[in-house]
Amino acid sequence: MLTFLFFSVLIGFLTAHGPGCFLPLVPGTSIGCKNAPSLRYHFDPDLNVCHTFHYNGCGGNINNYKTPGDCYKNCVGDPSELPQGAGDWLHERKYFQCSLGKKPIFNNNGSPTCPLSDTGDGCDSDAATCVNLYTMGLCCNKTVEFGFAADQTATCLSGKSRYQIDGKSVLAKICDDLTCPNGYSCEQGNFFVSCCQD
């Protein structure tokens, strides 16, 4: 019975986000606001990713984080908050679905799962790669997985250095939602834009 309860809590944690994480992006207002506009981070529950936006300084909603790390911790989850022993199975920013909210690819046997693999092997379709999720693998679209992984690296598609905060790439949907620091310009990646060194 305790094992069932443990796994129920574990699955609930892995598949749920905080309630504020489902709120829409609201840039706030600058009218009557004494705070300076700034770059903030918003969790997109459809894509399961945190991205940047221009915050006007006041108002908005609670789906508004100062750093990408704060956004991921609050909306993807913090393994340290799991029941004792469960954190050993988890790695940061992993959850039971494919990247960008994409549906898994099913094998010939009707299952989307695959054996855990360091090479990505184990899926029937050549279009799929096996993504490790804790104690099982999931067959996900290879183009999406590799493209999204490339968008998060320290190197832009152009080969230039990508701007990061606390080791996390600063991503946005469009360049208008991104303010690059001096010496960086907005460049399109596979799925997101980011600041790349000039």
133: three-class secondary structure by DSSP: strand
User: Which of the two residues, 96 and 105, has the higher pLDDT score?
Assistant: 105
> Residue 16 pLDDT more than 70?
no
Which is nearest to 9 in space by CA: 101, 85, 99? 85
Contact 116, 132 (CB under 8 A): yes
Q: Tokens 């706030």 — which residue?
A: 28
Using 50, 70 and 90 to split pLDDT, how confident is the model at 47? confident
Which domains are seen in the chain, by residue range?
Answer: 16-95 (4.10.410.10), 103-147 (no CATH), 156-198 (no CATH)
Q: What is the pLDDT of residue 160?
A: 96
The continuous run of DSSP H or E covering 42 comes out as strand 38-44
The single-letter DSSP state of residue 162 is B
Q: How confident is the model at residue 149 (pLDDT cuts 50, 70, 90)?
A: very high
Q: Which tens digits make up the pLDDT trace of 119-143?
A: 999 999 999 999 987 778 899 999 9
pLDDT of residue 97: 74
Taking the C-alpha atoms of residue 130 and residue 87, their distance in angstroms, rounded to an integer, is: 22
Residue pair 178/170 in contact by the 8 Å Cβ criterion: yes
Residue 64 has pLDDT above 90, yes or no: yes
Cβ 87 vs Cβ 79: under 8 Å: yes
Q: Residues near 124 by Cβ (< 8 Å), separated by ≥ 6?
A: 107, 108, 139
